[in-house]
């Protein structure tokens, strides 16, 4: 008797790839960090908000690194790690002025190029963007309000007044492919999206809540559909630093309270979610081909969840954003 093993398709998640060892244990060695930053072999990635300089190539895009001497005097840096060749990588958090006058025309948003980068560059840019977002929005101590200072090679901020240490924030969120008894997918549109844009349901995990409970709650709140909690299955996670989420991907089926042939009604709140519908594989493919709907791009875990259910790649020119 042979046992089939489900192929690890979620290893293809664009923003979950990484080839650089973070070497977190080295971050507290200030002398070593200074030596690495000034090493001629070290590569430094300038990052502004969610963008960095990127060069386009025929096969895949590649990050453009900036010499240390080109950065502004007060630039803060974060150690991203070393590759297998021992080359160190840093992120440099630059100003709007730097971004507008350096590498002109080559700044690209992570959301746009994440799937086009190789594994090393994708991992570096995800970490750099996540840190840049956090540092730009958490510059004061939440305890006393005093301005904090960057520490531990860019991975913490310390309060000079009360001595407290603050770590980068990550918000856990769930995203789920819901299917009914006919194996149709539940797709929905957020209020801020254009007509025809559809994706799977998602939402943040609340305080004191498990991720699995969040799946059941969010689907109920956003569509009115009751899930069978026993069918909630974790698949994979992907960082989504826009600005600071970790997306945990699931799939789940509707409750057995619904009949096998029942057309399960959908109730949206009209504020966050304005439209939801059940779609068979045939209906989805046809709607994509004629341009009636557009689905999430390859950079997102939502794309992978839909492809996993569909069983084949999505038609080209169907992604939004």
In this predicted model, what pLDDT tens digit does every residue of 150-159 receive, in sequence order?
A: 999 999 999 9
Query: Could you read off the pLDDT of 209-244 as tens digits, one per residue?
Result: 999 999 999 999 999 999 999 999 999 999 999 999
Residue ranges of domains in the chain? 10-137, 171-310
| pLDDT level of residue 318 (50, 70, 90 thresholds) | confident
Looking at residues 71-82, what average pLDDT do you find? 97
Instruction: Give the gyration radius of the chain's Cα atoms.
Output: 22
Tokens in use for 302?
């939502």
pLDDT given for residue 7 in this prediction: 44
Give the pLDDT confidence of 260-279 residue by residue, as tens digits.
888 999 999 899 999 999 99
Cα distance between residue 190 and residue 199, in whole Å: 9
CB atoms within 10 A of CB 128: 26
User: Which run of H or of E encompasses 132?
Assistant: helix 119-137
Residue 319's pLDDT band (boundaries 50, 70, 90)? confident
CB atoms within 10 A of CB 265: 9
Dihedral pair phi/psi, residue 85, rounded to 5°:
-90, 0
Residue pair 174/250 in contact (Cβ under 8 Å)? The answer is: yes
For 69, the enclosing helix (H) or strand (E) is none
* Beta pairing class for 88-93 and 165-166: unpaired
Look at the domain 171-310 and name its fold.
Answer: Nucleoside Triphosphate Pyrophosphohydrolase (3.90.79)
239-261: pLDDT as tens digits: 999 999 999 999 999 999 999 88
The pLDDT score that the predictor gives to residue 207 is: 97
CA distance from start to end of the chain: 46
Mean pLDDT across the stretch 76-94?
98
Residue 5 has pLDDT above 80, yes or no: no
Of the chain, the percentage scoring pLDDT greater than 70 comes to 96
In this prediction, residue 262 carries a pLDDT of: 86
In this structure, the number of other CB atoms found within 10 A of the CB of residue 319 comes to: 18
């Amino acid at each position: 008797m042979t046992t089939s093993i489900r192929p690890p398709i979620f290893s293809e998640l664009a923003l979950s790839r990484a080839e650089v060892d973070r070497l977190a244990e080295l971050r507290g060695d200030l002398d070593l960090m200074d030596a690495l930053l000034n090493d001629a072999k070290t590569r430094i990635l300038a990052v502004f908000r969610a963008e960095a300089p990127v060069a386009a190539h025929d096969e895949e895009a590649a990050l453009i690194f900036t010499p240390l001497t080109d950065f502004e005097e007060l630039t803060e840096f974060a150690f991203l790690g070393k590759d297998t060749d021992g080359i160190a990588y840093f992120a440099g958090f630059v100003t709007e002025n730097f971004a507008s006058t350096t590498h002109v025309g080559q700044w690209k948003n992570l959301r746009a190029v994440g799937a086009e980068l190789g594994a090393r560059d994708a991992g570096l840019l995800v970490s750099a963007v996540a840190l840049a977002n956090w540092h730009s929005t958490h510059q004061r101590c939440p305890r006393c309000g005093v301005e904090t200072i960057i520490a531990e090679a860019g991975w913490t901020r310390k309060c000079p007044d009360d001595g407290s240490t603050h770590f980068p924030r990550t918000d856990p969120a769930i995203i789920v492919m819901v299917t009914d008894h006919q194996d149709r997918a539940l797709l929905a549109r957020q209020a801020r999206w254009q007509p025809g844009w559809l994706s799977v349901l998602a939402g943040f995990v609340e305080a004191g809540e498990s991720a699995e409970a969040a799946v059941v709650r969010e689907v109920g709140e956003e569509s009115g559909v009751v899930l069978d909690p026993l069918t909630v299955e974790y698949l994979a996670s992907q960082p989504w630093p826009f600005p600071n989420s970790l997306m945990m991907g699931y799939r789940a089926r509707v409750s057995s309270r619904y009949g096998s042939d029942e057309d399960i009604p959908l109730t949206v709140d009209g504020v966050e979610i304005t439209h939801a519908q059940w779609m068979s594989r045939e209906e989805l493919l046809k709607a994509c081909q004629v341009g009636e709907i557009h689905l999430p791009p390859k950079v997102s875990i939502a794309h992978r969840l839909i492809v996993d259910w569909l069983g084949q790649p999505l038609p080209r020119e169907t992604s939004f954003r």
